[in-house]
Structure 1
Amino acid sequence: MSSLRILHLSDTHFAGDGGRHYGVVDTREHLQRALSHVGHLLFDLVVISGDVSDDGSEESYRQVHDAVLPWALARGARLVFAMGNHDRRDTFRAVLGGGQPDAGEQELAGIDLDRPVASTAESSGWRVIVLDSSVPGAGYGRVDAPQQQFLRDALSTPAQHGTVVVIHHPPVRAHTDLLQALALDEEDAQSLIDITRDTDVRVILSGHYHAPIVEFVDDVPVVVTAGVANVSRTFADAAEESAIDAFGGALVEIDGARVRVVPFLERLTPDDEVFHFDAQVVEQIIQDAGRPH
């Protein structure tokens, strides 16, 4: 199989008690609608690139896994998860393992359950590498030195058809002040690009920004998908932060030298906001969860 079709989702933000996201969004309904939107298609991979959970509970991970796994298997797809800033490493690992629970993982070495959740697995000649950009207790992202070496070692030998890298925080800039303060550390982002340069990496899949973005970096497409739980307003005042009641995702197809990205986005309630933070609230969130200066 020299071609690969991926359903790329992110930011499902499930709560173990079934509570609504921001008191507004039924995340289970959003996920079901996103899956139904492309339910007539077959896939090789279904990727959920982080913030799988909103509360970090084992129950929330079980709910997402149990909702998506039968759907993926019915379409011939392998299921892949990555850690996001809302996720917890111990509970994520307890339910989802190294992020590739339905393949034989070779996890980042170590015995500490709080270590980053990183894994690599191959199927049908395609390799998937999951990285963990979360920083416990913070919103911004890092890729520590052991993970960078893990990635470097994994990519030292090409896969038969190529490699897909999954990481929650994108190695590209955000579109609002808050998201940029919660972005991947710039040095780590550059290291990630440097490590993947001139390798067999065909695409980098990310979430976190809740908005569809495709940016080519050294000829490798970085695909940021819209959130399942909500979709960020991309062109509003950059000093503020708001989201609409909508869900999104992306169809990513790799075929030979081509990489085709088809984003989708559907609004549920045309006039309803999920949240709207003014500049003062944004600044407080940046102080509480952003990168230290």
Structure 2
Amino acid sequence: MLIAQISDPHIRPAGQLYQGVADSNRMFEEAIDHLHGLDRKPDLVLLTGDLVDDGRPDEYAQVRHLLAKLTIPYLVIPGNHDHRENFRAAFADHAYLPAEGALHYCIDDHAVRIVALDSCIPGLHHGGIDAQGLAWLQRTLETDRIKPTLLMLHHPPFMSGIPYMDTYRYMDTAPLEAIVRSASNIELVLCGHVHRTMLRRWAGTVVCSCPSSTTEIALQLAADAAPASFMGRPGCMLHLWNEAHGMVSHVSHIGKMQGPYPFA
């Protein structure tokens, strides 16, 4: 099974730029075209939050317009720039999304089980999951301790070392970590939020963050570093599951490169 992941497109109303700089709508279209042009078609696309920039209905209308071009089945979760109720209304035809409350769900129709968590706290930018959501996760994981499982949420559940990102990270990770650690069949935890790829061993599994299809947040590790981003190379992730070999993840850069050349 090949699972593609796109994150943090920050879609704007038609004709408007993200942060006055990036044409996030065009770049999202290019990301969709990129998936369609891969030499192996993904079986599923995961969109791990911040689909839009301000959570406004006109932005969601635009993202649905752009997603209409995607010919691959896809699943969505919100990010801290999304508005939960506007998000729910925009994707009302996605029957897997709960009709009320946090947008946690489980999809068990594929070779890999997908468990999605809504790590957003309405009105705030840092992440967390309340006791009710954690109890839902515990029950959901307990129903199948064998099938390979992929967990996705927007906020990475660890410190990145980038100070201006860590101020609104997933804050209280210990309860989530205990639940995840109890499920040995979680192959991978996917997230977005940081607009760059990071890997960390956590809770007995591996966490992988996805680059943005728009801008790249600067890798600055000094404690007094000021927030900064680049118009870096946009990308997505490809997560390849094989029953014999498990899960392997690749960064897939979006856009034209020199080549291909006849060597490897």
TM-score, with normalisation over the residues of structure 1?
0.78
Gaps (5+ residues) in structure 2? 257-264
Shift of 1:175: 2.8
What SS does the aligned partner of 1:71 have?
A: coil
Identity of aligned residues (%): 24
Match of 1:24 in 2: 21
CA separation in 1, counterparts of 2:51 and 2:2?
A: 21
Q: How does 1:1-293 map to 2 (within 5 A)?
A: 4-38=1-35, 39-40=37-38, 41-73=40-72, 78-97=73-92, 101=94, 104-105=95-96, 107=98, 113=100, 115-158=101-144, 161-185=147-171, 187=172, 189-199=173-183, 200-235=185-220, 237-238=222-223, 239-246=225-232, 247-256=234-243, 257-265=245-253
- For residue 79 of structure 1, report the CA deviation from its aligned partner: 0.6
Shift of 1:57: 1.9
- Tell me how many residue pairs correspond in the alignment: 250
Alpha-carbon spacing, 1:94–1:179, altered in 2? closer, same or farther (3 Å)? same
Letter in 2 for 1:6: I
Quote the Cα distance in structure 1 between the aligned partners of 2:205 and 2:18.
33
Structure with more of its chain in strand, by fraction = 1
1:290 aligns to what? none
Structure 1 residues 190-199 or 220-229, which shifts more?
A: 190-199
Distance 1:137 1:218, change over 3 A: closer
C-alpha separation in 1, matches of 2:221 and 2:30: 26
| Compared CA separation, residues 155 and 259, structure 1 to 2 (3 A) | same
Query: Structure 1 residues 180, 37: closer, same or farther in 2, change over 3 A?
Result: same
The 1:263/1:192 distance shift into structure 2, 3 A limit, reads same
Following the alignment from structure 2 to structure 1, what is the Cα–Cα distance between the partners of residues 45 and 58? Answer: 20
Q: Distance in 2 between matches of 1:155 and 1:177?
A: 33
* Structure 1 SS opposite 2:70: helix
Alpha-carbon separation, structure 2, partners of 1:124 and 1:177: 38
In structure 2, distance between residues paired with 1:125 and 1:266: 27
Q: Using a 3 Å threshold, how does the CA distance of structure 1 residues 106 and 25 change in structure 2: closer, same or farther?
A: closer
Structure 1: which 5+ runs fail to align?
Answer: 269-293
Cα distance in structure 2, aligned partners of 1:170 and 1:72: 28
Distance across 1 between alignment mates of 2:102 and 2:57: 17
> d(CA) in 2 for partners of 1:52 and 1:106?
15
Higher helix share: 1
> What one-letter code is carried by the residue in structure 2 that aligns with 1:49?
T
